[in-house]
């Protein structure tokens, strides 16, 4: 080693020392940043608002001073509703950005491989706004989620039981079920068939609809064979449009019952409102409580629009609970600590806090004093069961010229009664 390189190494060491001092100084000045990851389908029309709502939470928390004195930076990546793309995105966030909290994904079929192949192996806490498949419950029961999985969206069972109620109320005697051939679709398809049969309705056929097929004619023909009075559709708009247009053109009934995934303008426009007159859909809903109204008001103030898209309130709560849990878990907490701290921020006996910047600041004080918090969120008082699941009230809706309208509201108690009565 020459004198020259030694001098250079010395200068480098000095520079490093200075930099380190500068960094420590910055930390005292509360100018640090903590990264969290988000994998959401931003390239589809209904996915973007979900991501914007998550960012809204991050902005509010930063306004309240951030988590553990550090600003939160949410790194958002697109899943394109594709499991492969979603897993790649999640892997990059976990491995390269080192996030300990992952928000997402929307579809169960995307969330599931992320959970099993990315977040659980890496010990990262995952909060999904919108995945509803019962497969997660089953996985949690087997202990394979390691308590790292939470979702603010009720399981498909709520929608399935309400879908069967619609069929019964309308007096349909026979129903065919078309379901998307992924985790979510298989789950809700199976559940709705069970609930329909429990109501004494014949299920003439349960037909799986695969993604990306050149034609759905054979599937539709199979479903038509039993000449059902109505059809239950658990599909996404892309294949839903194709299958339903085929269904109608082959003389299938217009008595359709839709899962919330088809609550989309794209679907309504491509099929045509004139064919959707006797169609009703189901969806889970925010409870009619003050904290939910407060969310609607703050959303309108921020985005100048009603929070009408699917999963917005759920996205808000998923993100807020994740950040509250990070605050509760302390500085530089790992995913498992954050997941464990969720119970401290959703404690029914805790101090109630609101879903906004002030609520977050209030929660910080309580948590710093060793107390627990009851988060009153956009979807009501969120309470996870041991599998990371929540229940929810439901609505029955139908399409209108401008979008959708609510026909019936079913409270949490009524949903629980329906579920209990059907099982």
Partner 1 sequence: MIQNLVDGILVGSVLSLGAIGLTLVMHMLRFANFSHAELLSIGAYAALVFDAVFSALLPPLAASIGPLSMTWALVLALVAAVGVTGASALAIDRLVFRRVRAKGSELSMVFASFGVAMIIRNVMGLVFGLGTHLYSKDIVFAVVVSRDPMLLIKPDQVFVLGAALLVMVALHLMLSRTTLGFALRAVAENPTLAQVNGVNLGRMIALVWVLGGGLAAIAGVFYGLTNQISPMIGRDLVLPVFAATIVGGIGSVYGAVLGGFVVGIAANLALAVLPSGYSPSVPFLIILAVLLVRPNGLFGEARA
Give, in order, the Cα–Cα distances in Å from 301 to each of 206, 297, 306, 307, 395: 44, 6, 9, 11, 25
Interface pattern 18-57 for partner 1 (x via CB under 8 A): -------------------------xxx------------
* CB nearer to partner 1: pick between 227 and 405: 227
* Bridge partners (DSSP) listed for residue 381: 376
Which of 251, 348, 370, 420 contacts partner 1 by CB under 8 A? 251
The set of residues, in sequence order, having a beta carbon less than 8 Å from that of 7 and lying 6+ positions away, is none
**CA pair distance 164, 196, nearest whole angstrom:** 5
Q: Is 308 in the site for partner 1 (CB under 8 A)?
A: no
> Closer to partner 1 at the Cβ: 86 or 335?
86
CB nearer to partner 1: pick between 55 and 254: 254
Is residue 242 a contact point for partner 1 (CB under 8 A)? Answer: yes
For 124, other C-beta atoms within 10 Å of its C-beta total: 26
What the block records as the tokens of 147 is: 């308590």
Of the pair 256, 320, the CB lying nearest partner 1 is at: 256
Checking DSSP bridges between strand 202-209 and strand 174-180, what pairing results, if any?
parallel
Using only the alpha carbons of the chain, give its radius of gyration.
24
Two tokens at 357?
């910047």
266 forms part of the interface with partner 1 (CB under 8 A): yes
Q: Identify the residue among 9, 14, 15, 218 touching partner 1 (CB under 8 A).
A: 218
Which region, judged by CB under 8 A, interacts with partner 1, from 22-30, 218-226, 315-323, 398-406? 218-226
Q: Which residues contact 218 (CB under 8 A, 6 or more apart)?
A: none
Should residue 88 be labelled a site residue for partner 1 when binding is judged by CB under 8 A?
no
**Any idea what DSSP says for residue 283?**
E
Interaction residues for partner 1, span 176-215 (CB under 8 A): 181, 207-210, 212-215
Count the neighbouring beta carbons within 10 Å of the beta carbon of residue 160. Answer: 28
The residues that touch partner 1, with contacts defined as CB under 8 A, are: 43-45, 80, 181, 207-210, 212-215, 217-219, 221-222, 224-225, 237-238, 241-242, 245, 248-251, 266, 269-272, 275
């Amino acid at each position: 080693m020459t004198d020259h390189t030694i001098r250079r190494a010395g200068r480098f060491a000095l520079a490093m020392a200075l930099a380190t001092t500068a960094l420590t100084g910055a930390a005292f000045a509360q100018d640090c940043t903590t990264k969290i990851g988000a994998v959401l389908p931003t390239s589809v029309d209904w996915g973007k608002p979900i991501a914007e709502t998550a960012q809204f939470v991050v902005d509010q928390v930063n306004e309240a001073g951030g988590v553990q004195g550090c600003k939160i930076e949410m790194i958002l990546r697109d899943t394109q509703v594709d499991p492969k793309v979603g897993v790649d995105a999640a892997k990059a966030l976990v491995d390269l950005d080192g996030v300990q909290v992952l928000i997402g994904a929307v579809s169960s079929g995307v969330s599931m491989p992320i959970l099993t192949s990315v977040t659980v192996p890496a010990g990262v806490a995952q909060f999904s706004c919108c995945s509803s498949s019962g497969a997660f419950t089953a996985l949690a029961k087997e202990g394979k989620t390691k308590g790292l999985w939470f979702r603010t969206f009720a399981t498909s069972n709520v929608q399935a039981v309400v879908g069967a109620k619609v069929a019964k109320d309308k007096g349909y005697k026979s129903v065919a079920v078309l379901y998307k051939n992924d985790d979510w679709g298989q789950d809700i398809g199976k559940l709705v068939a069970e609930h329909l049969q429990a109501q004494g309705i014949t299920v003439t056929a349960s037909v799986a609809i695969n993604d990306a097929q050149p034609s759905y004619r054979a599937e539709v023909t199979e479903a038509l064979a039993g000449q059902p009075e109505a059809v239950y559709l658990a599909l996404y708009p892309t294949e839903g449009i194709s299958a339903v247009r085929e269904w109608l053109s082959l003389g299938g009934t217009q008595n359709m019952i839709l899962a919330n995934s088809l609550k989309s303008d794209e679907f309504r426009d491509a099929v045509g409102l004139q064919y959707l007159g006797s169609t009703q859909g189901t969806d889970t809903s925010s409870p009619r409580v003050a904290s939910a109204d407060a969310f609607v008001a703050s959303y309108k103030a921020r985005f100048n629009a009603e929070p009408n898209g699917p999963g917005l309130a759920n996205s808000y709560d998923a993100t807020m609970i994740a950040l509250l849990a990070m605050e509760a878990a302390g500085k530089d907490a790992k995913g498992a600590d954050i997941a464990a701290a969720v119970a401290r921020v959703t404690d029914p006996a805790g101090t109630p806090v609101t879903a906004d910047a002030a609520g977050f600041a209030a929660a910080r004080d309580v948590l710093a004093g060793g107390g627990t918090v009851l988060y009153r969120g956009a979807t009501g008082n969120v309470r996870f069961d041991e599998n990371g699941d929540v229940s929810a009230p439901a609505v029955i809706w139908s399409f209108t010229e401008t979008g959708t309208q609510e026909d019936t509201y079913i409270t949490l108690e009524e949903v629980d009664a329906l579920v209990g009565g059907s099982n």
